[in-house]
Amino acid sequence: MDKLVEVHENEVRIDFEIGCKCRTTIHLKSLMHTMPVAFKVQTSSPDKFLVKPPNGFIPPQGDFSFEIILKPRNDLPEEYPRSKDRFLVKTALAPDCRKDGNSLPDKVPNDWFASRKKQVFVDGKLKVVYIGGHLLRHLVAKGDTDSVKQILKRQNCCNEADEWGKTALQIASASGNVEMSKILLDAGARVDLVNKTGQTPLLEAVYMGHVEIAKELLDKGADTEARNPRGWTAIHLAASWNRREILSLLIERGANLKAKDKEGRIALHCAATKGYVDCVKLLLEAGAEKDATSNDGRTALFRAAANGYPELVELLLDAGADNRIRAVNGETPYDAALQKGHTSVLKILEVGDELLTAARRGNLEAVIACLKKGAPVNRSDQYGWTALHCAALKGHVDVLAKLIEFGADIRVEDAEGHTALHCAVEGGRKEAVQFLLGKGAEINAKSSRGATSLYMSAAMGYPGISRFLLNQGADTASLHHKPTIPTFDTHNSKQKKVSFEEIQSVHTDIVQGISV
């Protein structure tokens, strides 16, 4: 049987939205050359749909369009995306009508389509399919991949967002559906669209811990440096929620370890605050700045100490974190741990560390045992003293030699800027001074108050050491440094102040002694 009209659409596609009139247009074309064609549209669900106009005439080889309207609904259709709803486009030749249509009636008579008449021409049959971003997001949330494919085949609406700015890809990323994410990405879903809470699909995946989806998104060019309202990038989120595998992936893909949030925190701060040892290890191994400070002046070590994580404090100290750095309020990590009563942390931070104690006592066997067990040779106490400082103060040259053999840094300074050479001078240990200078100690190194070893020697009244330092090329200009200086034996808690006039007097004696 022949057709009188051609229907351009093969189905009725309704872009569905809750609570809205949803409209679509169907286009007809007459296939008759000599006579007008009458049409009438019928629906299987007249309670749901309106048709405007429901019938009419199409001139010979002319075009005509009608609109199908889905009445507002407060719930989803009974079936979707494919529906049981149907439309039938009935057609008939307009009898006894001239080609120009001037003799057409005002309305199409129903009896022209009467079923009792012999059917000669084929009617157009249209199935209803529900499409649109609203249904797509719903189906993504349900995990219905087949239905999602059906919608995307008919309409690419994967980047449409809901009232919160969430796209289908963000929903899939948060739910952990890898297959769904791949379908959406292949359909052209944008990887860096931001919802109203400031989340991208990558941030959603990281937050929920979905490694495979994070890989897919990164492969499609997701930006590792996109930020949420707190200023967190993906690496901050991974560190804050202990997503070690994702953290490793982000580092591998070049995420910025120095990226700071609105409070000046880097990812290392976030991991240390929560006590996530594995994440801290990973970040340190990747080159994260161990002594970076946030806006409040706190380091990762400060946060670990303040929150009572001894294993993490140990780890950061072993990595060379500086426990002397003070927060904006003046507190050190030791102060923070003391205030909160974290005794296990205090034992790690306080004076009396096993290696420092052995070095101060000159117990070479104990020093060697500590070093062989892996004790960090450059670890300092809360005053910044290392084992090298302790051994230098007491003049234990054999211990100094062993510490340097194991990598002790001869240039390291305590909280007041004193090197091991300063300590050896303060202790009046000439052999230690000679040894340290022989190992490359900086003879004119200045403390934070500007004191050199020669200045301290003069101040402490050690003419023999002063002469030796002068013979080794110490700069005498340092002796004219006028302010008084404290010399402080940290472990004996004794402090002395020496006046400028006394030092000038000693200086005169030293110079005269050398002249002689």
504 has a pLDDT exceeding 60: no
194-212: average pLDDT: 95
Q: What is the pLDDT of residue 479?
A: 75
Starting from the edge strand earliest in sequence, which strands make up the sheet with 49-52, in order?
Answer: 5-7, 22-30, 63-70, 49-52
- 302 or 106, which is more confident: 302
- Predicted model pTM: 0.71
419 within 8 A of 452, measured Cβ to Cβ: no
For residue 180, the SS3 value is helix
Give the span between the Cα atoms of 308 and 343, in whole angstroms. 8
176-181: average pLDDT: 96
All CATH 1.25.40.20 domain ranges in the chain, comma separated:
133-349, 354-515
351 has a pLDDT exceeding 60: no
Q: Which conformational region is residue 90 in: left (phi greater than 0), alpha (psi within -120 to 50 degrees), or beta? A: beta
Give the span between the Cα atoms of 451 and 439, in whole angstroms. 21
276-287: average pLDDT: 97
349-364: average pLDDT: 82
Tens of pLDDT, residue by residue over 129-178, are 999 999 999 999 999 999 999 999 999 999 999 999 999 999 999 999 99
Cis preceding-peptide flag for 81 (omega within 30 of 0) = yes
CATH topology of domain 354-515: 1.25.40
514 has a pLDDT exceeding 50: no
Tens of pLDDT, residue by residue over 411-427, are 999 989 999 999 999 99
Give the span between the Cα atoms of 167 and 154, in whole angstroms. 18
Strands 55-58 and 2-3: unpaired
460 within 8 A of 426, measured Cβ to Cβ: yes
200 within 8 A of 169, measured Cβ to Cβ: no
97 has a pLDDT exceeding 70: no
Tens of pLDDT, residue by residue over 243-276, are 999 999 999 999 999 999 999 999 999 999 999 9
Lowest mean pLDDT among 120-129, 294-303, 494-503: 494-503
Identity at 14, one-letter amino acid code = I
Q: What is the pLDDT of residue 336?
A: 93
All CATH 2.60.40.10 domain ranges in the chain, comma separated:
2-130
513 has a pLDDT exceeding 50: no
Please state which architecture CATH assigns to domain 133-349. Answer: Alpha Horseshoe (1.25)
Nearest in space to 88 (alpha carbons), one of 127, 130, 117: 127
497-503: average pLDDT: 45
| b/e map 435-464, b = 16+ CB within 10 Å | bbbeeebebebbbeeebbbbbbbbbbebee
For residue 12, the SS3 value is strand
449 within 8 A of 485, measured Cβ to Cβ: yes
506 within 8 A of 458, measured Cβ to Cβ: yes
194-208: average pLDDT: 94
Give the span between the Cα atoms of 360 and 396, in whole angstroms. 8
Give the span between the Cα atoms of 1 and 119, in whole angstroms. 9
Cis preceding-peptide flag for 201 (omega within 30 of 0) = no
Give a three-class secondary structure readout of 354-366.
HHHHHHHHCCHHH
Q: What is the pLDDT of residue 499?
A: 45
Q: What is the pLDDT of residue 505?
A: 52
Residue 93: pLDDT band by 50, 70, 90 thresholds? confident
27-34: average pLDDT: 91
| 199 CA to centre of own chain | 11
Task: Give the CA distances from residue 265 to residues 193, 235, 312, 387, 398, in Å, rounded to whole numbers and listed in that order.
Answer: 25, 11, 18, 32, 43
266 within 8 A of 299, measured Cβ to Cβ: no
Identity at 501, one-letter amino acid code = E
Strand partners, 69: 23, 50
Superfamily of domain 2-130: Immunoglobulins (2.60.40.10)
